[in-house]
C-alpha cells in the first residue's frame, strides 16, 4: 500500500528484530563451517607433513649385537693336509717267473707269516757264471749287512724308548704332585709314543731285510739244491706277508711272467696312520713338537685330537693356486684319539689341521 509521498511503510519493531536474529544465526553457521574447514585442512596438512617426515628420515641400520663374556681363547695355525701310513711295504717278485693270479684285493686284511700274498712258479735258476755268482754273493753280503744295520738301529731305538718311558713316568709322578704343567706331561707322553712307534717300525724293517736276504740267497741255489718242486719240475715260491695290515694297492692281478723285482702289492698297517700338512716356512717356525692339534673335516661329525710329532728340517717350493712360489715345510701330526674313533680314515685322505700354538682359559 502506498501512501503519502509514495514510500513503503516501515516494518514494525518486532518484525525487524526477527530479521536481525535470523541474519545473526546465518552468520554464525557460516563461521562454524569455515572453522571446521580450517581444522580439517590443518589435520590433512599435518598428516602429509608427518608422512613426508617418515619417508625422508634416515632408516636405522640393522646390526648384530651380542653380550661380551669371558671365555677360552686360542691361536691356531690352519692348513689342509692328508693322511699317510708311516711304513709302506712294497711287495715285489724275489725272482723271475710266472706269477699266479693274485686273489687279494685292496682293503683285505693280511697277517704276518700267515697270509700268502703271491705265488711264483720258477723253472729254477740257471747255472751261474763266475761273474753272476760274484754279484749274487755280493748281494747276499749286502743284504746281510742291511739286516745287521736294521737290528742295530732297533737296539738304538729301544734305548731311546726306555729313556722316553722313564721320563714319562717321572713326569706323571710330578704331575700328580702338581710340580709340572700339563703341557710338559703331554710332551713327554708324545715323545714316548713316537719312540714306541719307531721301535715297531724298526721291527718291521728287520723283517723286510730278512726277506730280502732270503731272496738274495735264493739266487745262489743250484737246480740240484732246490728243496721243493712241483710235479712238472717248476719251483713254487710263496710270498708271505711281513706285517699285520691291509692291502693298499694291487699292482698286478692276472697271471703273467714277471721279471725279478716286479712290484706286485702295496701293504701297510693303518693303525700307523699319520697326518702330513705343508705349512708356510714362516708358520712352521712357530710350531714345536708336542703341540696339540685339532683335526677337522675328515668326514666325521666331531673333530679329532692330534699332536705334532715332527717338523721336517728341509722345506720345498710349492706353487699356489694363484701362481705364487711359496716355501713349504711338512709337519707330521699323530692321532691322539682311539683307533675306533677314526677307523674309517685310510691312506691319502684329505683333512684339515689346526695346530694350537697358544691358548688360555
Q: What is the dihedral of CA 142, 145, 151, 155, to 10 degrees?
A: -140
For residues 185 and 355, give the distance between their C-alpha atoms in angstroms, rounded to a whole number.
18
Contact yes or no for 258/61 (Cβ under 8 A): no
The CB density around residue 102, as the number of other CB atoms within 10 Å, is 20
For residues 171 and 179, give the distance between their C-alpha atoms in angstroms, rounded to a whole number.
9
Kindly report the backbone phi and psi dihedral angles of residue 296, in degrees, each rounded to the nearest multiple of 5, phi listed first: -125, 170
- Residues present in the chain in total: 361
Chain center to CA of 37: 79
Based on the number of CB atoms within 10 Å of its own CB, is 310 exposed (0-12), middle (13-18) or buried (19 or more)? middle
- Per the listing, cell 710329532 goes with 309
Going along the chain from its start, the domains and CATH numbers come out as 73-80+272-360 (2.40.30.170), 87-270 (2.40.50.100)
Element (H, E) at 307: strand 304-311
Q: Cell numbers of 47, please?
A: 598428516
| pLDDT at residue 69, as a whole number | 83
Q: What is the DSSP string of 185-244?
A: HHHHHHHHHHHHHHHHHHHHHHHHHHHHHHHHHHTT--GGG-S---TTSPEEEEEEPSSS
> In a structure prediction context, what are the per-residue pLDDT tens digits for the chain, which is 361 residues long?
444 455 545 555 555 556 556 666 666 667 777 777 787 888 888 888 887 777 777 777 788 888 888 888 899 999 999 999 988 999 998 878 889 999 999 999 999 989 999 998 876 555 555 777 787 788 888 888 888 988 999 999 999 999 999 998 988 888 888 888 888 888 888 888 888 888 888 888 888 888 888 877 777 765 444 445 555 556 788 889 988 999 999 999 899 998 888 999 999 999 889 999 999 999 999 999 999 999 999 998 899 999 999 999 999 999 988 889 999 999 999 999 988 999 899 999 999 999 999 988 7
First to last CA, the chain: 119
Contact yes or no for 82/254 (Cβ under 8 A): no
Query: Residue 101 has what DSSP assignment?
Result: P
Amino acid at each position: 500500500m502506498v501512501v503519502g509521498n509514495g514510500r513503503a511503510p516501515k516494518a514494525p519493531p518486532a518484525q525487524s528484530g526477527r530479521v536481525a536474529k535470523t541474519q545473526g544465526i546465518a552468520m554464525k553457521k557460516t563461521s562454524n563451517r569455515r572453522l571446521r574447514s580450517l581444522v580439517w585442512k590443518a589435520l590433512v596438512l599435518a598428516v602429509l607433513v608427518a608422512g613426508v617426515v617418515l619417508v625422508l628420515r634416515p632408516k636405522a641400520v640393522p646390526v648384530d649385537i651380542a653380550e661380551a663374556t669371558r671365555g677360552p681363547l686360542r691361536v691356531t695355525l690352519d692348513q689342509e693336509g692328508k693322511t699317510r701310513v708311516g711304513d709302506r711295504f712294497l711287495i715285489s717278485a724275489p725272482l723271475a717267473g710266472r706269477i699266479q693270479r693274485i686273489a687279494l684285493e685292496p682293503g683285505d686284511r693280511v697277517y704276518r707269516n700267515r697270509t700268502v700274498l703271491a705265488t711264483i712258479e720258477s723253472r729254477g735258476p740257471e747255472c751261474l757264471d763266475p761273474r753272476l755268482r760274484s754279484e749274487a754273493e755280493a748281494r747276499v753280503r749286502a743284504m746281510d749287512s742291511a739286516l745287521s744295520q736294521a737290528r742295530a738301529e732297533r737296539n738304538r731305538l729301544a734305548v731311546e724308548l726306555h729313556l722316553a718311558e722313564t721320563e714319562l713316568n717321572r713326569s706323571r709322578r710330578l704331575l700328580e704332585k702338581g710340580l709340572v704343567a700339563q703341557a710338559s706331561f703331554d710332551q713327554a707322553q708324545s715323545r714316548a709314543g713316537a719312540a714306541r712307534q719307531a721301535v715297531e717300525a724298526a721291527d718291521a724293517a728287520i723283517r723286510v731285510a730278512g726277506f730280502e736276504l732270503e731272496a738274495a740267497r735264493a739266487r745262489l741255489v743250484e737246480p740240484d739244491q732246490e728243496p721243493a718242486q712241483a710235479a712238472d719240475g717248476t719251483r713254487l715260491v710263496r710270498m708271505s706277508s711281513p706285517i699285520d695290515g691291509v692291502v693298499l694297492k694291487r699292482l698286478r692281478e692276472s697271471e703273467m711272467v714277471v721279471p725279478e723285482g716286479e712290484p706286485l702289492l702295496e701293504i701297510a698297517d693303518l693303525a700307523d696312520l699319520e697326518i702330513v700338512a705343508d705349512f708356510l716356512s714362516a708358520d712352521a717356525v712357530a710350531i714345536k713338537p708336542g703341540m696339540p692339534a685339532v683335526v677337522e673335516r675328515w668326514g666325521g661329525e666331531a673333530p679329532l685330537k692330534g699332536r705334532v710329532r715332527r717338523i721336517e728340517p728341509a722345506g720345498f717350493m710349492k706353487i699356489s693356486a694363484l701362481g705364487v712360489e711359496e716355501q713349504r715345510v711338512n709337519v707330521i701330526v699323530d692321532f691322539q684319539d682311539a683307533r675306533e674313533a677314526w677307523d674309517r680314515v685310510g691312506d691319502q685322505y684329505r683333512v684339515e689341521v689346526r695346530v694350537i700354538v697358544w691358548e688360555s682359559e
